[in-house]
Amino acid sequence: MDDYRKYLDPQTLAKVQNLDLAARQIVEGYVAGAHKSPFHGFSAEFAQHREYASGDDLRYVDWKVYAKSDRYYLKQYEAETNFTCYLLLDCSESMRYRSEGTALSKWEYARLVAAALAYVVIKQQDAAGLCTVNDRVVDFLRPASQPTHLKQIYYTLEHTEAAGESGLGKVFHELAERINRRSLIIIISDLFDDLDAVMLGLKHFRHRKHDVSLLQVIDPAEQDFPFQEPVLFRGLENLPEQMAEPRSLKKAYQAEFEKFLKAAQRGCRDLNMDYGLVRTDQSLDMALSTFLSHRQSRVGF
Amino acid sequence: MNVFFFQPLFAFGFASPWLLMGLLAAGIPILIHLLHKRKFIETEWAAMKFLMAATRKYSRRVRFEQLLILLVRCLILLLLAVAFSRPYWSLQGAFFETAAPVHRILVVDTSFSMRWQGDEETLFEEAREIARSIVASSRQGDAFQLIQISSASPQKLITRPSRQQAYILEEISKLQPTQEFGNAGQALQAALEFLGQAQELAQKEVIVISDFQAESWAPQQAEQGKSRILSLMEALSKKATLILKDVGVAEESNLAIVDFNSKSVFATLNQPVRLSVTLHNYGLLNQDAVNLQLYVDQQLVNQKQVDLPANADTQAEFTHQFTRVGDHRLEVRLADDRLPLDNHRWKVMPVKKEINVLLVNGRRSTEAMGRATDFLELALSPSLQEQPWQGIIKPHVINEGELATTELSLYDAVVICDVALFTDHERDLLKRYVSRGGGLIVSLGEQVNVKNYNQTILQPEQGLLALKLLDRRGDARKHTTLFEFDPLQYQHPVIEIFKGNPDAGLETTHIYEYFQTEHPPDTNTRPVLNYDTNDPAIIEGTLGRGKVVLITTSLDRLWGTWAIWPSFPPMVNELVLYVATGKWGSRAVRVGQPLEIMTRENQLTLTPQMIAPDQEKYPLRSVLDSSNESRTITFSQTLLSGFYELDWGSAATENTLYAVNVSPQESNLTHIGPQLIPAQYFRRPEGTESQQMEVPEDRTTQAGLAENLLLTVLALIVVEQLLLWRFSAGALTFLVVMLISSLSLFFLR
């Protein structure tokens, strides 16, 4: 293993109490790993003209260019340089789950990923906002690019507990209406919700022209179902108890779960969204690379 | 020959049923299953909806899978336990698996009715041959026990189940017909006890070979005995296959002497004795002019032709006069028939020269006829100087003080007359004398101390007679009241001679005074003669083997005219002879019953031996030693009919004879028939014997049920693994295994 990787290992990061430190460790570790930051294309100096398209706001038409070339171009660089990113975290109770032998719960893992991303964005002088949701919006930090805002994001993340039932679909609709400015919306969730409703919510985001990326975090036990002895499963989010014989149920369960994952992936693909799947036993850079490599390919957006 | 065979149409059993305990092991998987369910861990779970969906979708299938696996596991253990228990089954008498050995109990009738001679052999020989063939055709592993239907001889001959054919055949060859009656109930009870043995052999048979003679199998006189035999047969058929093999005859004709008796137990020299013989024709046809012979000391002395009507008793009489003192062998013979044993009957007749009677005088007197015993002595032995008395009764008079020093056992009877008092020692002497067969007559009188009598010889518990003397009645001095005798319809044998003979003067005898008596209830005393006041004049009681008679008045002239009345001599003679019979009372018994022999003090040093009819000698010395106290020898080996001679081993003492006769119970050959035993015991018609005996030899080598089950178990173990690996493949294999197993069981037949 490369040296930097040890800083991205969930086992190591679990020991780091300070989220700021952890986020920095992740990013620096990640950068040291010869990866190119996917956010370079969104720097403040970047500017371009774009041909007018039907529906564009006439206020941004560059009349000087029109005078010279008789063509309608929009002055877009001023606005584009103000890149905003919303980190949308699912903090429902299901995110609290941490299987035996795993260092981080899904929530803790998601929190680290969010912190790292916020760090990257704000370091680039872009604005990062935070939104934690379950069946409602729990916290909403408007995007800002000041370093102090990063502190606020960390504070909020540190003081939010995974609790409550999830109702992502409804919340996504609400947020889609609330976020007016086209933004990059990074959703981190286990998606343990009504997938159809979630997809409708995501569709709403897309409809509002947001760039949406989805990072699905799952616990390894949820995928591997490693139980041998009979287990009494106590459902989170007010779901009932269930006594089960894991050995005989394993295949059936895994089939159901894989079906769900595939449905989520397919849904994202259909909506032309980035989709990444991470397990909490995976290294953080895996999560970031899975996610950011997609971003890089879409830098031209 | 009729064969009654009771066997279920379908039989299933286990050669080693105790191994069925292993069936409990089938509960182990269920227990594990239950325990497994209770042991679980708890965890929170986020992906609950997928789990619930999976459970919903697959729970039915999972449950089915689990149940099938559980079923296979239970089946493995169940079949294993059953296989180790070596199961077998049979259908309609043909055994599918003949490897299972059988516990057979042979019950062979050896009672004397089995001596009935057929055209070729006796019933017993036929029965023994059947028993032998059953054993000879048995298979290896079969166990046998042997019981004979007898009464005195031991019934249980092979008490432990034996698998040694040679030994069993030898025991059967040793079987001999007895002269006893058959106690069928006892033999069946023994068979029932035997069924509890050889628990490892589940298949059990009780085979009864008998002539099923009605008297033994359904005693008509004892309804309880009959129902006992039926209930025993019922109990046997519940625990085993009961097979009744009847070797009885269809035509039951038999003549028998059922009784040979005489009124007097001993005879006297030159006095004619009447001997009565009871004969019975058990056939359906009258038998005329049958020759009946009387032998005395093995010499034919008399014979007559008698007509024997069918199914009835016939009486015949002989009169004989003995000319020699001692025991005589009397035998009556009927012409032999097919069952000759009951055509003979034996009797011992002791002939006495004299009867010694001790007269104890309680009242001394110098006057002629003044003593209390004088009239009695005269009546018993009326000797005159010029003409000595030739009678057999020899009285000997002593005074009351001499009683304690006299050897009483030398006397056949003791008569006590007007003795005032008895000491306890005298009471004990008299008591011992009477209980050993002596006769005692106590007459009362003026001297009698009532209080002493009631405290010694009439004491309620230790006395000789259970009654109490009360006050005197009447007055002998004033003759105020006259009492006469009431003969009580002449029922008592002593009084019987006066019947129709009023000249003897019994009822005209005058008594002036007597003692009244009080009789406690439930005693063994009975009045011989009463007064007209309804008070008893003569009372009889028994003590041990002897008799005690109390005369409530005096035997002289003081209290009445009886001593000079014509009724007196015959009365006292009869009384003395009557009480003196105790010593001869048991000279005849039935086969199997014990002979009780009384010994005298001077015989204790002898070495007696009993010579049986077959000349076998049985020393009695040890018996004598062990019963020194009572001086009674009990001889039980009376298994043959005929004369038994007791040789005292001393020239001074004459041999004593005893007669042993067969029980007339066995002479009646009437067959019991199905009307007396319920129909269910006669399920098998004739001819089943051959089926039973002819079990095909080649079947013994067939692969058994157990092997088949073990193979199935092996296959199921594989099936279980398959089910765990690929359920569908396992389930299919399970069906195939079950099918093959069922087919192989079917073809195993």
Q: Which residues of B touch A260 (CB under 8 A)?
A: 50
The whole-angstrom distance between B8's CA and the closest CA on chain A is: 50
Range of lowest pLDDT (A105-119, A201-215, B624-638): B624-638
Give the Cα separation of B475 and B486 in Å (integer): 20
Q: Would the pLDDT of B704 be above 70?
A: no
Of B37, B42, B48, the CB nearest to A236: B48
B369 touches chain A (CB under 8 A): no
Q: Are the beta carbons of B46 and A106 separated by less than 8 Å? A: yes
Q: Which range (A173-182, B377-386, B512-521) has the least confidence? A: B377-386
- Per-residue pLDDT band for A188 (boundaries 50, 70, 90) equals very high
- Mean pLDDT for A31-53 is 51
Class (C level, CATH) for B588-661 = mainly beta
Residue B349 has pLDDT above 70, yes or no: yes
Task: Verify whether the Cβ–Cβ distance A239 to B36 is below 8 Å.
Answer: no
Mind spelling out the 3-state secondary structure of chain A?
A: CCHHHHHCCHHHHCCCCCHHHHHHHHHHHHHHCCCCCCCHHHCCCCCCEEECCCCCCHHHECHHHHHHHCCCEEECHHHHCCCEEEEEEECCHHHHCCCCCCCCCHHHHHHHHHHHHHHHHHHCCCEEEEEEECCCEEEEEEEECCHHHHHHHHHHHHCCCCCCCCCHHHHHHHHHHHCCCCCEEEEEECCCCCHHHHHHHHHHHHHCCCEEEEEEEECHHHHHCCCCCCEEEEECCCCCEEEECHHHHHHHHHHHHHHHHHHHHHHHHHCCCEEEEEECCCCHHHHHHHHHHHHHHCCCC
Q: Higher model confidence: residue A158 or residue B634?
A: A158
Class of B98-251+669-687 in CATH: alpha beta
The angle formed by the CA atoms of residues A86, A88 and A92, to the nearest 5 degrees, is: 165
Angstrom distance (rounded) from CA B293 to CA A252: 109
The predicted pLDDT at position B600 comes to: 66
Residues 19-38 of B with CB under 8 A from A: 36-37
- pLDDT at position B481: 86
B352 or B517, which is more confident: B517
In B57-116, the residues whose Cβ lies within 8 Å of chain A are 57-58, 62, 65-66
CB-CB neighbors (< 8 A) of B57 in chain A:
252, 256
The DSSP call for residue B138 is P
- For B48, which of A106, A230, A235 is closest by C-beta distance? A235
In Å, how far is B48's CA from the nearest CA of chain A? 6
Judging contacts by C-beta atoms under 8 Å, the chain B residues touching residue A246 are none
Label residue A88 by pLDDT band (50, 70, 90): very high
Contacts of B142 by beta carbon, 8 Å cutoff, 6+ apart: B101, B102, B103, B104, B163
In chain B, which residues have their Cβ closer than 8 Å to the Cβ of A232? 40-43
Return the residue in A190, A248, A251 with the most chain B beta carbons within 10 A, the one to mutate for interface testing.
A248
Number of CB pairs, chain A paired with chain B, less than 8 A apart? 94
CA distance B336 to B346: 16
Q: CATH for A3-42+82-297, among 3.30.470.20, 3.90.420.10, 3.30.1540.20, 3.40.50.410?
A: 3.40.50.410
Whether residue A97 lies within 8 A of chain B, CB to CB, comes out as yes
Higher-pLDDT residue of B292, A230: B292
Tell me which chain B residues have a C-beta less than 8 angstroms from the C-beta of A236.
Answer: 44-46, 48
Instruction: Say yes or no for a CB contact (<8 Å) between A233 and B39.
Output: no
B343, B260 contact by CB (below 8 A): no
Give, in order, the Cα–Cα distances in Å from A89 to each of A112, A170, A180, B465: 11, 14, 19, 124
- CB contact A106 to B (< 8 Å): yes
A53 vs A106, more confident: A106
Cβ burial of A167 (10 Å; 0-12, 13-18, 19+) is: buried
Determine phi and psi for B239, rounding to 5 degrees. -95, -20
Contact yes or no for A97 and B48 at CB 8 A: no
Helix or strand run (H / E) with residue B424: helix B424-435
Determine the pLDDT at residue B120.
84
Complex ipTM > 0.90? no
Span B493-517, average pLDDT: 86
More confident residue, B61 or B527: B527
Q: List CB contacts of A277: < 8 A, sequence separation 6 or more.
A: A215, A216, A218, A261, A265, A290
- Residue-level pLDDT at A127: 86
For residues B204 and B8, the model is more confident at B204
The CATH number of B356-584 is 3.40.50.880
Q: Do B54 and A253 touch (CB under 8 A)?
A: yes
Contact A242 B55 (CB under 8 A): yes
CB within 8 Å: A229 and B65: no
CB of B56 less than 8 A from some CB of A? no
CB contact under 8 A, B50 and A253: yes
Q: Among A106, A237, A253, whose Cβ lies nearest the Cβ of B51?
A: A253
Nearby residues of B663 by Cβ (< 8 Å), 6 or more positions away: B180, B181, B590, B591
Q: In chain A, which residues have their Cβ closer than 8 Å to the Cβ of B48?
A: 233, 235-237, 239-240, 242
User: CB atoms < 10 A from the CB of B522, how many?
Assistant: 6
Q: Is the pLDDT of residue B384 over 60?
A: yes
Phi, then psi, of A262 in degrees rounded to 5: -65, -35
Tokens (6 digits) for B260? 């040979």
Question: What are the residue ranges of CATH 3.40.50.410 in chain A?
Answer: 3-42+82-297
- Share the mean pLDDT of chain B: 81
Residue of B nearest to A236 (CA): B46
Within its chain, how far is the Cα of A233 from the centroid? Answer: 28
Homologous superfamily of B255-352 in CATH? Immunoglobulins (2.60.40.10)
Instruction: Report in angstroms the alpha-carbon separations of A6 from A30, A33, A284.
Output: 11, 12, 10
Is pLDDT of A5 > 60? no
- Please answer whether residues B97 and B200 qualify as being in contact, where contact means their C-beta atoms are separated by less than 8 angstroms: no
According to DSSP, residue B418 is labeled S
Does A190 contact B53 at a Cβ distance shorter than 8 Å? no
Q: What is the pLDDT of residues A119-162, one digit of tens each?
A: 888 877 778 899 999 999 999 999 888 888 888 998 999 899 99
Q: According to the model, what pLDDT value does residue B585 have?
A: 61
CB contact under 8 A, A97 and B46: yes
pTM of the entire predicted model:
0.54
Question: What residue has token string 């063994």?
Answer: B524
Res B539: pLDDT: 93
Task: Give the bridge partners for B268, in sequence order.
Answer: B352
Local confidence band at B516 (pLDDT 50, 70, 90 cut-offs) = very high
At residue B86, the pLDDT reads 67
Say yes or no to pLDDT of A171 above 60.
yes
CATH 3.40.50.880 domain range(s) in chain B? 356-584
The tens digit of pLDDT for each residue in A220-235 reads 999 999 988 888 888 8
Q: How far is residue B113's CA from residue B680's CA, in Å, rounded to a whole number? A: 26
Q: Which residues make up the CATH 3.40.50.410 domain(s) of chain B?
A: 98-251+669-687
Listed range (A140-144, B118-122, B737-741) with the worst mean pLDDT: B118-122
B280: enclosing H helix or E strand: strand B272-281
Of residues B602 and B657, the one with the higher pLDDT is B657
A81: confidence class by pLDDT, cuts 50, 70, 90: very low
The CATH 2.60.40.10 portion of chain B extends over 255-352
* Touching B: A residues 226-285, CB under 8 Å: 227, 229-237, 239-240, 242-245, 248-249, 252-253, 255-257, 260
Of A165, A163, A128, A168, nearest to A149 (Cα)? A128
Q: Does the beta-carbon distance from B48 to A239 stay under 8 Å?
A: yes
- Average pLDDT of the segment spanning B50-59: 83
